[in-house]
Structure 1
Amino acid sequence: MYLSYSPLWLQWFYPTLTWHKSREENIIFLTFDDGPIPVVTPFVLNTLKKFQAKATFFCIGENIDKYPEVFSDVIESGHAVGNHTYNHLKGWNTKDNDYLDNIQKCTLHTGIRLFRPPYGRITKSQIKALKIQNPEIEIVMWDVLSGDFDQSITAEKCIENVLKNVKNGSIIVFHDSLKAFERLEKSLPIILEILTKQGYSFKTLL
């Protein structure tokens, strides 16, 4: 069970996390989790290029080690990258020291400026420890979830999830993963086309 948006009470409960950016300008922040992956990440890069859109990729360190050429393509295409742990760990199920060590291992590739907890699951003690260890870190959540990872829904539902919740400054989550590709391949071009026509531009979080 998940929501296609982040409720205000959750944002209030975790006030030090980034849920969205300024609502003053027609700018949207596209984010892609779990890559880099052959086929899927290149598809995303090509689609973004067609719409002159920039995005932020929250990468898994293990995937970067497996597919360094794909990761290089993300960087060379002018997109930002963020840390998504080395092994896609769920904070709620991981001891704090193990969690921080896994994040640190990923920083060898991505740095630590931007971090997104896998599954959005992170404890308050982990947040505190991360900010003490890395004062410059920005822990990025979202206010719009496409649901592309959900194999029980259609691409049309992903489109609906985004379009009904998006607004100025929204941070939208997609996944450049094999699990999400069937829905992402169909929904991403349509979403980009519609939002472009509505006057939005797409920038990185850095």
Structure 2
Amino acid sequence: MPALVRGLFPDCLWTMPATDPPTLYLTFDDGPIPRETPFVLEQLARYEARGTFFCVGENLERHPEVARQVLAEGHRLANHTYHHISGWSHARPAYLADVARCQAVLQALQPEARPLLRPPYGRITPGLARQLHASHQVVMWNLLTCDYDPDYAPAQCLATAIRLTRPGSVVVFHDSLKASPNLRYVLPRYLAHFAALGYRFAAL
């Protein structure tokens, strides 16, 4: 993400500090759903990895058993709005209400004082980000795998993700049906590659 864009959102989390051993922060957007989220959990478990799942509120209400499985395996749930809406195309009151509706569902599953929020598509205005900062840590990323792109060959998706990864990277995958072909190819190989290099994988 260009530095100019990051500069417009100084309160958003884009990356994490480098640590020893090096750590990556894998995040998964758009779930939870029965088919893809358990696959992700299985892959993470092989490496004792922890991840952060940015959940759509509708999916949380449809599949609470999957959300509970995420928590039971030591991962974190976070807010991705209730209807997966853009902060560019919705009025601020409507957007904030959608965030609050998702947070109410999350709070029943995982009570926490300062929740995490990722705006769908990364689309948010500086003013909206400032307002949300009072109640949420807004989380962006410094590595988007683009696993949702059907024209992105799985091998290329993996190679690019590996090339752009740095210690402390906040990495975006998607536990969605749209991303499934790339996710199922890339995630196991990505984990294996960085585990072999001595990296650990932590939740935010």
Q: TM-score range by the shorter chain?
A: over 0.9
Distance 1:159 1:9 in 2: 27
Counterpart residue identity of residue 100, structure 2:
Q
Instruction: Tell me the equivalent position of 2:120.
Output: 118
Structure 2 gaps of 5+ residues are 108-113
Helix, strand or coil: the match of 2:164? coil
TM-score, with structure 1 as normaliser: 0.92
Indicate the RMSD between aligned Cα atoms, in angstroms: 1.1
Helix, strand or coil: the match of 1:93? coil
- Residues 91-170 of structure 1: pairs in structure 2 closer than 5 A: 91-111=87-107, 113-132=115-134, 134=135, 137-170=136-169
| Percent identity over paired residues | 39
Does residue 178 (structure 1) correspond to residue 177 (structure 2)? The answer is yes
Distance 2:37 2:129 in 1: 29
In the alignment, is the contact (CA less than 8 A) between 1:92 and 1:121 conserved in 2?
A: yes
Match of 1:16 among 11, 18, 30: 11
In the alignment, is the contact (CA less than 8 A) between 2:132 and 2:138 conserved in 1?
A: no
What is the aligned residue count?
Answer: 197
In the alignment, is the contact (CA less than 8 A) between 2:9 and 2:129 conserved in 1?
A: no
Distance 1:72 1:131 in 2: 27
> Which stretches of structure 1, 4 residues or more, deviate above 3 A after TM superposition?
none
Distance 2:103 2:154 in 1: 33
In the alignment, is the contact (CA less than 8 A) between 1:149 and 1:175 conserved in 2?
A: yes
Distance 1:39 1:148 in 2: 16
Counterpart residue identity of residue 57, structure 1:
F
In the alignment, is the contact (CA less than 8 A) between 1:96 and 1:125 conserved in 2?
A: no
Counterpart residue identity of residue 127, structure 2:
S
Does residue 201 (structure 1) correspond to residue 179 (structure 2)? The answer is no
In the alignment, is the contact (CA less than 8 A) between 1:21 and 1:171 conserved in 2?
A: yes
Residue 13 (structure 1) shift: 2.3
Structure 1 gaps of 5+ residues are 1-5
In the alignment, is the contact (CA less than 8 A) between 2:11 and 2:133 conserved in 1?
A: no
Residue 161 (structure 1) shift: 2.3
In the alignment, is the contact (CA less than 8 A) between 2:25 and 2:51 conserved in 1?
A: yes
Counterpart residue identity of residue 132, structure 2:
L
Match of 2:51 among 51, 55, 58: 55
Residue 9 (structure 1) shift: 2.2
In the alignment, is the contact (CA less than 8 A) between 2:52 and 2:78 conserved in 1?
A: yes
Residue 23 (structure 1) shift: 2.1
Helix, strand or coil: the match of 1:182? helix
Counterpart residue identity of residue 190, structure 1:
R
Distance 1:201 1:107 in 2: 29
In the alignment, is the contact (CA less than 8 A) between 1:144 and 1:161 conserved in 2?
A: no
Instruction: Tell me the equivalent position of 1:3.
Output: none
Does residue 89 (structure 1) correspond to residue 85 (structure 2)? The answer is yes
Counterpart residue identity of residue 202, structure 1:
F
